Amino acid sequence: MKTARGFFKPLAIGAPAPWRELPARVERMIHFVPPHLEKVRAKVGEIAPTVDVILANLEDAIPADAKGAALAGTIAMSREVDFKALGVGLWVRINCLNSPWHLDEVATLVEKAGDRIDVIMVPKVEGPWDIFYIDQLLASLEAKHGVTRPILLHAILETAEGVMNVEQIAGASPRMQGVSLGPADLAASRAMKTTRVGGGHPGYRVIEDPHTDGLPRASVQQDLWHYTFAKMVDACAAHGIKPFYGPFGAIDDPVACEQQFRNAFLMGCAGAWSLHPSQIAIAKTVFSPDPAEVAFARRILEAMPDGSGVAMIDGKMQDDATWKQAKVMVDCARQIAAKDAEYAALYGF
């Protein structure tokens, strides 16, 4: 463990000072783009103003023989669109640390686009040692190339070992921005008997006891991911970083996608991945607090201006604890309103 004073020291001579607080950014959807496909890349300028984050994906879903083209496409994309002017984050998902690709990817990204990339997403993070490694590598490269703003790190939680170590991963470096649940790889790592990318499974349910009169027994589908979510959200909240839901692969089932995203939102997540343009609007709606809830939260704040005491609103008891919940909701809405005129109008800010 580093000392308290050592934690925020730059890891290389000439590297930028680490962030002390995470930059305040709205990240409701992280929109995945396959950067080796020129046809899709050509649309990024049009899609970017509709999302909070564009992510250039170099890892799974990019064929092995297209890794070089995806890296080149990422650099091109970082130059073709002025993401900063649009207020849109630019993230890159690199290949995992035991792959033959990640080293050249990180070196090229920092050299050619170091000042334009906000976050590097690291897949299959197993423990804090993976973050220590990439943290040092980034600091050395940032120093070498005169990058002035540290690139943040985002870990995907998608191995059993990673889940076991998520608390240490979340606190491994001041670069840590957040963690996403990666249900597809995690299912494989755990030997779950599924073939899906996230969401529930009709076979995972609880069933009521048999009825003496032989009537059918009610049963309800349960959430396969609840334990992992709870562990991830607590680890992230404790370390002051953001938890996210990852991919939802059933592009043809927007209803289930919305429910999965909503469960994540209610549990404390800041956003989710969008794999297809149709998932952008779903994430935007779900991860923007409901205007009616925001209006109610504002009434709580107004009823208890100093955040203490007790009040009744519409038959519901309010006190310091509900005041804090209301503040979370209103602060989130204000941050979104500052970026998104549509929601500013809906919230009346």
User: Which residues participate in the annotated binding site for Mg(2+)?
Assistant: 158, 185
Options 7, 8, 46, 61; binder of ligand ACO; rule CB under 6 A: 61
Segment interacting with ligand LL5AMS7Z (CB under 6 A) among 182-190, 202-210, 316-324, 340-348: 182-190
Closest listed residue to residue 31, CA positions, set 91, 86, 80: 91
- Here the tokens at position 272 are 């989710």
**Residue in 69, 86, 251, 267 binding ligand ACO, rule: CB under 6 A:** 251
Residues 254-313 interacting with ligand ACO (rule: CB under 6 A) = 275-277
Of 101-109, 180-188, 200-208, 260-268, the segment contacting ligand LL5AMS7Z by CB under 6 A is 180-188
* 340 vs 284: CA distance, rounded Å: 10
Pick one of 15, 25, 27, 34: the residue that binds ligand ACO (CB under 6 A). 34
Judge contact between 59 and 96, C-beta under 8 A: yes
Burial profile 170-207: b = 16 or more Cβ within 10 angstroms, e = fewer = bbbbbbbbbbbbbbbbbbebeeeebeebbbbbeeeeee
Q: Applying CB under 6 A, does 178 fall inside the site for ligand LL5AMS7Z?
A: no
Please, what is the minimum distance in Å from the beta carbon of residue 32 to ligand ACO?
Answer: 4
Compute the CA torsion angle 125, 240, 181, 327 (nearest 10 deg): -170
Q: Does 247 bind ligand LL5AMS7Z (CB under 6 A)?
A: yes
Q: Determine which helix (DSSP H) or strand (DSSP E) holds 345, and give its type and residue range.
A: helix 341-347
Site for ligand LL5AMS7Z (CB under 6 A): which residue of 35, 114, 150, 246?
246
- Helix H or strand E encompassing 319: strand 316-319
Chain contacts with Mg ion (rule: CB under 5 A): 158, 182, 185
Residue 47 interacts, among Mg ion, ligand ACO, ligand LL5AMS7Z, none and using kind-specific CB cut-offs from 5 to 8 Å, with: ligand ACO
Q: Can you spell out the DSSP letters for 186-198? A: HHHHTT-S---SS
Q: Interaction with ligand LL5AMS7Z in 56-95: which residues (CB under 6 A)?
A: 60
Residue 19: both structure tokens together: 């962030």
Contact between 271 and ligand LL5AMS7Z by CB under 6 A: the answer reads: no
Q: Which residues bind ligand LL5AMS7Z (CB under 6 A)?
A: 60, 123, 156, 158, 182-185, 197, 246-247
